[in-house]
Chains A and B, each alone.
Chain A
Amino acid sequence: MLTVDTLTVAYGAIPALHEASFTVGAGEVVALIGANGAGKSSLLKALMGLVAHRAGKLSLDEADLRGFSTRQRIARGFALSPEGRHVFPDLSVQENLDLGYLGRDAAEAMRRAEAMFALFPRLAERRRQLAGTMSGGEQQMLAIARAMMAGPRLLMLDEPTLGLAPIVVQQIGHFIDQVRKQGLSVIIAEQNAEMALGAADRAYVLENGHIVLAGTAADLLRDPAVKKAFLGL
């Protein structure tokens, strides 16, 4: 579904991502793992059009995305839950979710929000609460739910388990399973390699902006280099 061909992203003179090529199939969960500064977030931001890529090609279902604004990309089925959550702290849970829906159909917005509340009952309890007053885990759920409000075909999760208790990490893993069953494609960028590889079908390992390893998640979990570099085993 998504094809990324020799994508290069740079901030000024410093390259953050160097000729990265990879694919994501329909209904596939792909993990990106790598150390801090390896280029995972830059890659996701480039996919969303939040940073311009310097070279390379992005295509969704064979259509080149060059020149597409972030909004247009969202309309075509991309959605990102950003690293560090970035919920709107002074808006309520409901208002945060409403902002995630770009259409004009109020009934549809309501329907999607209800679906999110069903998925994350914790958010339903707090729909009138200001997002900034919620715990880190709840804010993370909200960020993911807000991304889901756009009705994406490709959901990108940047560090979805950042600062989450083990029990919530399991819930996020469960959530990814559920959306996969609905036919969504998912890209997870994660420090928690164990969780990401557990949830993913395939994975890419990034190092200093290069994709250095690729394979099925199960293979990578067994890979001695991965074990040493990310799992600390």
Chain B
Amino acid sequence: MTRVSSWPAGIWLSAGVAVAFLAAFLIDSPYVAGLLAYALVLGMFALGLGVTLGQMGYVTFGHAAFFGLGAYAAALVSTKFGLNFWLMAFLAPLPGAALGILVGFASARLGGAYFAIATLTTAEILRLIAANWIDLTRGPMGVLVTAPPLPWQTAFGWGQQQSYLFLLILVVTLLLVGLRNLQRSPLGRAWVAVREAPDLAESLGIPTVRARVSNIAISGGIAALAGALLVPKIFVVTPDLLGVSYSATGLLATIMGGKASLLGPLLGGFAFAVLPESLRFVDAARLAIFAVILLLVVRLMPGGIVSLLPGFRRNAPAPAFGQHKLPALLRPDLPAPGTDVLAVRGLQKSFSGLKATDDVSFTVRAGELVGLIGPNGAGKTTCFNLLSGFTRPDAGDVLCLGRSIVGLAPHQVASHGMVRSFQQAAICPTLTVYENALIATHRAAPEPFLSALLRLPACRRREDERRLRAEACLGAMDLLARADELASALPYGDQKLLAIAMALAAQPKILLLDEPAAGLNQVEATALAKVLGDLRRAGLTIVVVDHNLKMMMALCDRIVVLHHGAKIAEGTPETVRNDAAVVQAYFGVASPEAVAS
């Protein structure tokens, strides 16, 4: 893959900020300054919306709820209690984030359309309250706000407009830096994982509900700040700020600018502020023309305006490999070989009367490699779903590393030390192989929020750790040469290997692999078997479901056979191979020797 040379984001940012400050300094037309301020506020709003829409892929139809709430909160508190407006404006993210948490918990788990509708109704409820609670908000008349001079206005004798512009530029800059830091942290990657493959994220130990709620809270907080900072320009806070028109503007600006990046929404916000104004010369038709431009942008540039910038690329290239000493593939605190690490007791699960898992019990000891085989539909995957927390059993218990994990969320099971892979390779398709692996390091080296936001030295150190771990896991699966390829472009078999690399990056003590060799030919399967064998010898406990008998017979210490949800045999590969019931149910008419040899 050829590497496109790109300007480092830092240079882009510094250049942009310098130009903005210079422009703010040179502009003396109040009209242009006002337009620029409006552009910055809209950009900020879109930036906040982009956190949810772009990073996490949740469409929102009512982000004005946050925007207007911020404006009203700052305006009402400062006027009612006579507090400094600017101070209140900077506290506006708090109610915004609180509303985000509320909406997030209420709807985020449902995702998609439900979240969009939840934001839409929230905005409408808030708008109705603002319009009708006349005593508090003066209804459609609006709250009048006079912002006091900013400290640097009096200190340097700058104009009011200019001081305001400087403040907005400063805030946008800080937001860009902070969001970029988050984007490159486990939290930002968790958002992307939720967008791309939520089940995969859970299976890797990422608490997806918390990730979703934090995303919406941050997005809401930024939108609220934008709303509050619009107040000094408009003086009057009216229910319109909570209306559909602002929601639509934010959504469309984000899409038009390019939702996948941080710069995109900002550019989109600018376009939405400036274009309708600059189309004034066509007068009545300007909004129609603007709508046509918008349609064309969406149709012709799905990546948004930002994709036109030189050097823009969606996926960051992987670093050079082989520069540093890699961490050990496996965690040092693996349980002592021979101890029981997984005990399945009388596990039962029915789906609409059909027994998918029928009183299954088996035990796995540390360092063992146990195979789970059976005809298609025997309940092997259901069994994995029960073990990994994706499905709750009707009865029975699963003791994992000395603790019952029934009722735990999948990410808690993963954090407890048992990580599973999926039958249909679960990967994040629009990310590169390397980015996929990096997502999977989330659990192994967690990052506190503030440290990620400020990208503290400790965060950089842990980030290096995560990068090396990703490199080690890709190396173990021989995928380093394809690190910069999109995961969706990998052949099916390599996608399965990537999924295993990701499971390893989550640092399991017990690894559950669902059909890792499906899609591999016998030679590739043998290579995989060697890797799995090495991991087992290094102390990892592995449970494998697969139909590649040649591999399974050579690899497994013990095999458990399921049929119609129930265990019909258990023993060494040799015993199972000669078991009449297993031959009948699984191997079929051909003699087991012919199948397995």
Contacts and interface: CB of A to CB of B under 8 A. Distances in A.
B191 to A, nearest CB: 25
A192 B521 contact: yes
The residue among A34, A35, A166, A170 with the most chain B CB atoms within 10 A of its own CB is A166
A162 B590 CA distance: 19
Contacts of A117: none
B274 interface: no
A84 B521 contact: no
Contacts of A84: 424, 492, 519
B132 interface: no
Nearest to A228: B523
B205 to A, nearest CB: 25
Given A162-B519, A166-B588, A167-B586, A37 B375 contact: no
B518 interface: yes
A166 B591 CA distance: 11
B376 A165 contact: yes
Interface in B357-380: 373-378
B381 interface: yes
Interface in B544-593: 547, 549-550, 585-590
Nearest to B494: A36
Nearest to A233: B522
Interface in A149-198: 159, 162-170, 191-194
B521 to A, nearest CB: 4
Given A136-B381, A136-B515, A191 B491 contact: no
Nearest to A227: B522
Which one of A140, A192, A229, A231 has the highest number of Cβ atoms from chain B below 10 Å of its Cβ?
Answer: A192
B518 A162 contact: yes
Contact of A36 (B2, B424, B521): B521
Contact of A163 (B2, B493, B547): B547
Given A166-B588, A166-B590, A167-B587, A191 B515 contact: no
A184 B521 CA distance: 26
B526 interface: yes
Contact of A170 (B378, B491, B492, B588): B588
Given A83-B492, A166-B595, A191 B521 contact: yes
A36 B589 CA distance: 30
Interface in B232-275: none
A11 interface: yes
B520 interface: yes
A138 B489 CA distance: 27
A13 B485 CA distance: 13
Contacts of A194: 522
B409 interface: no
A167 B494 contact: no
Nearest to B351: A133
A22 interface: no
Contacts, number: 102
Given A159-B492, A230-B522, A170 B590 contact: yes
A77 interface: no
A41 interface: yes
Contacts of B595: 166
How many interface residues does chain B have, given as a range?
Answer: 35 or more
A67 interface: no
Given A41-B491, A133-B351, A135-B381, A191 B520 contact: yes
Contacts of B377: 134-135, 137-138
B589 A170 contact: yes
Nearest to A162: B518
Contacts of A134: 377
B92 interface: no
Contacts of A170: 588-590
Contacts of B277: none
A101 B140 CA distance: 58
A48 B326 CA distance: 45
A136 B423 contact: yes
A140 B547 CA distance: 14
Contacts of A229: 523
B525 interface: yes
Contact of B524 (A35, A162, A164, A169): A35
Contacts of B378: 135, 165
A231 B522 contact: yes
Interface string A32-69: 01111100010000000000000000000000000000
Nearest to B518: A163
Contacts of B547: 163-166, 169
A34 B374 CA distance: 27
Nearest to B526: A232
A205 B133 CA distance: 76
Nearest to B584: A167
Contact of A138 (B374, B376, B424, B522): B376
A159 to B, nearest CB: 7
B493 A191 contact: yes
A85 B489 CA distance: 17
A191 B517 CA distance: 10
Contacts of A138: 376-377
Contacts of B521: 33-36, 191-193, 230
Contact of B520 (A36, A140, A228): A36
A228 B521 CA distance: 11
B374 A165 contact: yes
Contacts of A135: 376-378, 381
A120 to B, nearest CB: 12
B170 to A, nearest CB: 42
Nearest to A167: B588
A37 B481 CA distance: 14
B423 A163 contact: yes
A169 B595 CA distance: 11
B18 to A, nearest CB: 37
A36 B590 contact: no
A35 B523 contact: yes
**Residue of A133, A159, A194, A232 ringed by the most chain B CB atoms within 10 A:** A232
Contacts of B351: 133
A65 B376 CA distance: 38
B65 to A, nearest CB: 31
A90 to B, nearest CB: 13
B515 A166 contact: no
A169 B351 CA distance: 26
Pick the most buried of B491, B521, B522: most chain A CB atoms within 10 A of its CB: B521
Contacts of A230: 521-523
26 contacts: A13-B2, A35-B521, A36-B494, A36-B520, A37-B493, A83-B519, A84-B492, A134-B377, A136-B381, A136-B423, A137-B376, A140-B376, A159-B492, A163-B515, A165-B375, A166-B547, A166-B549, A166-B595, A167-B375, A167-B586, A168-B376, A191-B524, A192-B521, A230-B521, A232-B522, A232-B550
Given A163-B515, A166-B587, 14 more contacts: A83-B519, A84-B519, A135-B376, A135-B381, A136-B381, A162-B519, A164-B547, A165-B373, A166-B595, A167-B588, A168-B375, A191-B520, A192-B521, A193-B521
Closest 6 CB pairs of A and B: A137-B376, A167-B588, A135-B377, A36-B493, A232-B522, A37-B491
